Amino acid sequence: MKDKAVAIASGGMDSTVLLYDLNERGFETLVLSFDYGQRHKKELDFIAITCKKLGFEHRIIDLTGITELITSSALTFGKEVPDGHFADLTMRQTVVPNRNAIMLSIAAGAAMNIGSHFVATAVHGGDHFIYPDCRPAFVDALSMAMSLAADDLFTEGAFEGIYSPFITTDKAYIAALGHAMHVDWNDTWSCYKGGEIHCGRCGTCVERREAFMLSGVEDPTLYEDYDFAWEAIEKHKRGEQ
């Protein structure tokens, strides 16, 4: 019998590569995606394709009931998604308060329930500046809390914490790793705006292009705006916003 894993996945490059990684390691994986009212809900269709390819069970958890409580973010309600480099201060508008903690807590509950040793997340080094709940100190503290919540008698000692293999790497590494595992990048979706094709201007489109560029992996993505990313990256290097 295969060991079980639970992973949270969005349909972006990072979580798609994470699923390929778990597949390589031989885990039977329950994949959880979350509908928190994000504009770019179409990412969930993309992760479903990857789950099907890998033979993983996929569930979408409806969290729209809590979206109203955490309305700050431009990713959900009326506000506009900002254009620019993903590490610009303007990107703070895309923070959904405590989103990772909420998703990881639910996934950890599911992991304890099915006897999985861990819950896997694709948070990576590039997320640290903008998203406080993607930083190593946060993930360590939450992992500790979750492992304390998994009482031995209850989970038969199975659950140990959070598996975050990319937490100290950057997205270029993830692109290279995905390339090595033959990930089809057309099965992934990054754009926060959720239009027909990737916009090329929002923080996560810029981040996607930069990851491909730095890793030397070919980027097959169609972008509405091809030039914006390079300008944003150059401006960010010069310290402009």
Residues that bind its own copies (CB under 8 A): 32, 59, 61-63, 65-66, 69-72, 89, 92, 95-102, 104-106, 108-110, 112-113, 132-133, 135, 137-138, 141-142, 144-146, 148-151, 153-155
User: Looking at beta carbons only, is 87 or 110 nearer to its own copies?
Assistant: 110
User: Looking at beta carbons only, is 109 or 194 nearer to its own copies?
Assistant: 109
User: Looking at beta carbons only, is 81 or 176 nearer to its own copies?
Assistant: 81
Quote the least distance from Cβ 142 to its own copies, whole Å. Answer: 4
User: Cα 136 to the chain's mean position, in Å?
Assistant: 15
Distance between first and last Cα of the chain: 52
User: Looking at beta carbons only, is 122 or 183 nearer to its own copies?
Assistant: 122
* Residue 24 to residues 4, 17, 51, 180, 194, Cα–Cα distance (Å): 13, 10, 14, 11, 30
Cβ 199 vs Cβ 227: under 8 Å: no
| Bridge partners, 62 (sequence order) | 35
| Residue closest to 101 by CA, chosen among 36, 57, 186 | 36
Quote the least distance from Cβ 191 to its own copies, whole Å. Answer: 23
Quote the least distance from Cβ 216 to its own copies, whole Å. Answer: 33
Quote the least distance from Cβ 228 to its own copies, whole Å. Answer: 25
| Residue closest to 91 by CA, chosen among 128, 130, 126, 129 | 130
